[in-house]
């Protein structure tokens, strides 16, 4: 039974990955050169979906909140930032090599799912003599710590003095701008700074499509609070994150909140709740919410020599604010949205056209996230219809992402739009010339209704708001 469900899940991942390539969502990076391990490019529809997710996050987590502001910091920062944050010393994963086949593994990934409690030590997850190479059965080396930061050199000289890092998390750019934001924005604690951007980690193992890659994007909030109030705001952000998961279409049954024990928490965290998701390849982390205490600001104060003490403008109390951090991966958001939306209908949903007799795929994406909102389909390639259809596409295109498609049977065109998650298809037929109305088809119910061209704007306003 378990074997069968594993098989179905593996098939689901394979089918989804194939669909995403076929329909222009996600391609292997450098594809014509055979690809590069675990790097992906977002294609024309993928970039729309990803941008819609980022836009929705920005709106919900930053713009719509009076106590939030945004930031876009540089990826390459002063190397001292990562000494202060502890990443140079501590941002490591435990690594083992197979002495026989020379493959490298993340030691904690070799443990069975329930082997981490109690007394688990993430520096030394196990006695190597108890484990063998999962690929060839060879003997493993002792566990050693491998730093995940990508290094490069700034300027023409490749010497230690020019060594810099690609940021391993977007958070660093926020901490070092705390003073700039306080001084320029007249904000009073509690307030937060949100940022979306790329992060880089030289992961020992990369896996499962866009789940774990070495270059990825994060959407992070650093929320600054009075130390007495951290629990209140931790709980507030927990609820906001739960609401976000609902908005993405994640079913409650697929989401699991995991209190992370001290032995497994990141070095800076005093409390962490992981949002875990039931991916087809197992239950794994989606997002994290952490209470980082005053660790970051204190460290940056120490290493920069600049005071990061905050003075409350009303009470005049001086203190270093504590930080609550909701940290969300963009790529994992894309993956779960697609997994939740992917629906197969065996035998098709209608029998009216040949195209729908086979297995049919519908991406039931939330409207706000769908890369194309409305497809404009002239029933035939006749000039009278094409001209009207293009005019409608032009007009609606001012407000919505539209796609114009005149190739293939109408059934095939509906299916193509269902597969990419387009909420509405609009068909221009021969009656349109006389009655100045079009047929609008709903992706999920497949209900069709006749709408006058002059009413389309209002019609879609109601549907999409
Ligand atoms: N500032 C805190 C921080 O970076 P994290 O748990 O290491 O915490 C936050 O990362 C989120 O970033 C994760 O929950 C995940 O969504 C995403 N993430 C982390 N590593 C990733 C990787 N290698 N590939 C894709 N996403 C990743």
323/400 same-domain check: no
Whether the Cβ atoms of residue 283 and residue 277 lie closer than 8 Å to each other: yes
444/362 same-domain check: yes
Whose Cα sits closest to atom 4 in ligand 1? 169
230 Cβ contact list (under 8 Å, min separation 6):
291, 293, 322, 324
Q: Tell me if 220 CB under 6 Å of ligand 1.
A: yes
DSSP 8-state symbol, 113? T
Split into its structural domains, the chain has a count of 3
Atom number of ligand 1 nearest to Cα 220: 1
Whose Cα sits closest to atom 24 in ligand 1? 212
Asked if residue 82 belongs to a domain, the reply is: no
Q: Tell me if 40 CB under 6 Å of ligand 1.
A: no
186/116 same-domain check: no
365/316 same-domain check: no
Name residues of the chain where pLDDT drops below 50. Answer: none
Q: How far is the CA of 151 from the centre of ligand 1 (A)?
A: 19
82: closest CA among 267, 270, 308? 267
Atom number of ligand 1 nearest to Cα 287: 14
Q: Tell me if 332 CB under 6 Å of ligand 1.
A: yes
Asked if residue 87 belongs to a domain, the reply is: no
* Of 318, 338, 358, the domain-final residue: 338
Q: How far apart are the first and last CA of the chain?
A: 44
Asked if residue 279 belongs to a domain, the reply is: yes
Whose Cα sits closest to atom 16 in ligand 1? 329
Residue 158 is predicted with a pLDDT of 86
Q: Tell me if 327 CB under 6 Å of ligand 1.
A: yes
DSSP 8-state symbol, 423? S
Label the pairing between strands 342-345 and 92-97.
unpaired
Q: Does residue 190 have a cis bond before it (omega within 30 degrees)?
A: yes
Q: C-alpha distances in angstroms, 249 versus 110, 242, 252, 367?
A: 32, 11, 9, 11
72: closest CA among 197, 242, 215, 192? 197
Boundaries of domain holding 207:
2-76+152-338
* Of 338, 362, 395, the domain-final residue: 338
Q: Tell me if 265 CB under 6 Å of ligand 1.
A: no
125/193 same-domain check: no
Average pLDDT, the chain: 93
Asked if residue 83 belongs to a domain, the reply is: no
Whose Cα sits closest to atom 21 in ligand 1? 212
Tens of pLDDT, residues 43-90: 999 999 999 999 999 999 999 999 999 999 999 999 999 999 999 998
Whose Cα sits closest to atom 18 in ligand 1? 329
Atom number of ligand 1 nearest to Cα 333: 16
Q: Which of 38, 106, 174, 218 has most ligand 1 atoms within 8 Å of CB, for mutation?
A: 218
Q: How far is the CA of 208 from the centre of ligand 1 (A)?
A: 14
- Which spans in 248-379 are helix H? 295-304, 330-341
Q: Tell me if 201 CB under 6 Å of ligand 1.
A: yes
Apex CA 38: angle with CA 35 and CA 44, to 5°? 70
- Domain of 114, CATH number, reads 2.20.28
Q: How far is the CA of 218 from the centre of ligand 1 (A)?
A: 7
State whether residue 64 is helix, strand or coil. Answer: coil
Atom number of ligand 1 nearest to Cα 330: 16
176/290 same-domain check: yes
- Domain of 353, CATH number, reads 3.40.50.800
Q: Tell me if 169 CB under 6 Å of ligand 1.
A: yes
442/410 same-domain check: yes
Q: Tell me if 213 CB under 6 Å of ligand 1.
A: yes
**CA atoms within a 13 Å half-sphere pointing along the CA-CB vector of 162:** 8
Asked if residue 193 belongs to a domain, the reply is: yes
Asked if residue 244 belongs to a domain, the reply is: yes
Whose Cα sits closest to atom 6 in ligand 1? 288
- Domain of 22, CATH number, reads 3.30.930.10
70/100 same-domain check: no
130/191 same-domain check: no
Residue 124 is predicted with a pLDDT of 72
Whose Cα sits closest to atom 12 in ligand 1? 329
pTM: 0.93
C-alpha 128 chain-centroid distance = 35
Whose Cα sits closest to atom 25 in ligand 1? 212
DSSP 8-state symbol, 98? B
Q: How far is the CA of 332 from the centre of ligand 1 (A)?
A: 9
* Of 276, 304, 338, the domain-final residue: 338
46: closest CA among 420, 377, 462? 420
51/109 same-domain check: no
330/376 same-domain check: no
Asked if residue 161 belongs to a domain, the reply is: yes
Q: Which of 73, 257, 284, 329 has most ligand 1 atoms within 8 Å of CB, for mutation?
A: 329
Q: Tell me if 329 CB under 6 Å of ligand 1.
A: yes
Buried b (16+ CB within 10 A) or exposed e, 422-452: bbbbbbbbeebeeeebbbbbebeeeeeeebe
325/384 same-domain check: no
Asked if residue 382 belongs to a domain, the reply is: yes
278: closest CA among 348, 323, 328, 211? 211
How many residues in total does the chain contain?
465
Whether the Cβ atoms of residue 229 and residue 296 lie closer than 8 Å to each other: no
Q: Which of 332, 333, 337 has most ligand 1 atoms within 8 Å of CB, for mutation?
A: 332
Label the pairing between strands 448-452 and 437-442.
antiparallel
C-alpha 130 chain-centroid distance = 36
């Amino acid at each position: 039974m378990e074997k069968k469900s594993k098989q179905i899940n593996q098939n689901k991942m394979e089918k989804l990955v194939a669909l995403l390539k076929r329909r222009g969502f996600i391609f292997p990076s450098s594809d014509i050169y055979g690809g590069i391990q675990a790097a992906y490019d977002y294609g024309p529809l993928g970039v729309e979906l990803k941008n819609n997710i980022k836009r929705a996050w920005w709106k919900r987590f930053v713009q719509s909140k009076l106590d939030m502001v945004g930031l876009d910091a540089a990826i390459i920062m002063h190397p001292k930032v990562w000494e202060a944050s502890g990443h140079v010393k501590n941002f490591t994963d435990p690594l083992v090599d197979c002495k026989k086949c020379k493959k490298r593994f993340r030691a904690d990934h070799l443990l069975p799912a329930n082997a981490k409690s109690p007394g688990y030590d993430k520096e030394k997850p196990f006695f190597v003599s108890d484990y063998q190479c999962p690929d060839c059965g060879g003997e493993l080396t002792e566990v050693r710590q491998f730093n995940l930061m990508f290094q490069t050199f700034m300027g023409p000289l490749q010497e230690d003095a020019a060594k810099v890092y690609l940021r391993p998390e977007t958070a660093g750019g926020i901490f070092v701008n705390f003073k700039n934001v306080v001084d320029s924005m007249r904000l009073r604690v509690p307030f937060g700074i949100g940022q979306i951007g790329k992060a880089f980690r030289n992961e020992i193992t990369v896996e499962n499509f866009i789940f774990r890659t070495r270059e990825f994007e994060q959407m992070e909030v650093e929320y600054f609070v009075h130390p007495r109030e951290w629990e209140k705001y931790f709980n507030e952000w927990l609820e906001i994150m739960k609401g976000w998961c609902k908005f993405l279409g994640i079913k409650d049954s697929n989401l699991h909140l995991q209190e992370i024990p001290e032995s497994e928490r990141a070095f800076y965290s005093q409390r962490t709740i992981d949002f875990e998701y039931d991916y087809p390849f197992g239950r794994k982390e989606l997002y994290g919410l952490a209470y980082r205490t005053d660790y970051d600001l204190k460290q940056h104060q120490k290493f920069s020599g600049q005071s990061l003490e905050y003075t409350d403008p009303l009470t005049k109390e001086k203190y270093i604010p504590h930080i609550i951090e909701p940290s969300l991966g963009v790529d994992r958001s894309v993956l779960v949205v697609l997994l939740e939306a992917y629906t197969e209908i065996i035998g098709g949903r209608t029998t009216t056209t040949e195209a729908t007799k086979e297995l049919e795929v519908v991406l039931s994406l939330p409207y706000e996230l769908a890369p194309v909102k409305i497809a404009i389909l002239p029933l035939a390639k006749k000039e009278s219809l094409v001209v009207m259809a293009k005019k409608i596409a032009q007009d609606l295109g001012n407000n919505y992402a539209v796609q114009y498609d005149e190739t293939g049977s109408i059934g095939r065109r509906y299916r193509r739009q269902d597969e990419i998650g387009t909420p509405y298809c609009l068909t221009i037929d021969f009656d349109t010339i006389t009655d100045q109305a079009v047929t609008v088809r709903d992706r999920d119910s497949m209900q069709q209704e006749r709408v006058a061209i002059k009413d389309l704007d209002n019609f879609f306003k109601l549907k999409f708001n």
